[in-house]
Amino acid sequence: MKIAVFGLNAKVAARGPVAARLARVAEDLGYDSWWVGEHVVLPSPRVPPSPMEPGDPILDPLVHLAYVAAATTTIDLATGIVILPQRNPLVLAKQAASLDVLSGGRLILGIGAGYLEPEMTAIGVAMGERGGRTEEYLDAMAALWTMERPEYHGRYVDFAGIDAHPRPLQPGGPRIVVGGQSVAAHERAVRRAHGWYGFFMPPDVVRAQLDGLRAAAERVERPAGLGRLEISVTPGRRLDEATVADYAEAGVDRLVVYPLPIEDEGAITAALQASAALVQATR
């Protein structure tokens, strides 16, 4: 079991020096990776299913991870998740390649199709197009990272006669993780990703999701080069030995712990330190 930390690009950790200090604490304690989420804009006033108040600060995940990369040396850096249809895929491919190079190949690019309609509408993406855009954007980024003469021709992305360097340090591009609980997300993870990510899930829900992933694997082909699908989950309860054992038994490879509340640096540091023995025991 790997143990990672989630969510520290928001609230008090949106301050650069605070994030740097916390990231070094996590790295020194042996946490596997540092995961951060994304919301470009939030509905104001807050409406379901928005997870945050409109006045809550949250940094852009790639800008934040570049800052954390400069403050650390070994901890992996993950987006958990970037809302892919809201991003220009060529710009995102350049940003991800740049971050992978600057971090020494530590980037895990977690992506999802999105769920918050007011955010997507404000950015100019129709909810009904998010699945198709996600598929094409993944293909377009892969083309830019891997093809000798990159080109892609689709409904939402169309290019040829261009190139972009440097390429990512990791061969083939950053490790891709797909988030989402839908049938489409399961199939996308099986076909395209190195891993799948579930957020705030108890073990019984994780088991149901893994059943969905296994069913998807019977319908779609998984490229051999991707290897085994790694399962990462933010648990829905406090981290202790029983929690680690329950999630491991459910089939989870990595627990991405959210050290709530995240309004106080001292409280976050204490939460990270409280789990240090478990982190070391699972390494």
Domain coordinates in residue numbering, the chain: 2-282
Angle between helices 183-192 and 203-219 (to 10 degrees): 60
Q: What mean pLDDT value characterizes the chain?
A: 97
Q: Could you tell me the pLDDT band of residue 24, with boundaries at 50, 70 and 90?
A: very high
- Write out the H or E segment, with its range, that includes residue 60: none
pLDDT value at 236 more than 90: no
d(CA 193, CA 138): 10
**What value does the CA radius of gyration of the chain take, rounded to a whole number of Å?**
18
Nearest 5°: CA angle at 236, between 235 and 237? Answer: 95
Taking the domain 2-282, which CATH number applies?
A: 3.20.20.30
> For residue 221, with 0-12 CB atoms within 10 Å meaning exposed, 13-18 middle and 19 or more buried, which class applies?
exposed
pLDDT at 283 over 90: no
CB 282 within 8 A of CB 2: yes
| pTM: predicted TM-score of the whole model, two decimal places | 0.97
Phi, psi of 232 (to 5 degrees): -120, 135
Mean pLDDT throughout 98-125? 98
- Mean pLDDT confidence for 84-113: 98
Amino acid identity, position 226: L
- The pLDDT confidence band at residue 208, using thresholds 50, 70 and 90, is very high
Token duo for residue 173: 């591009």
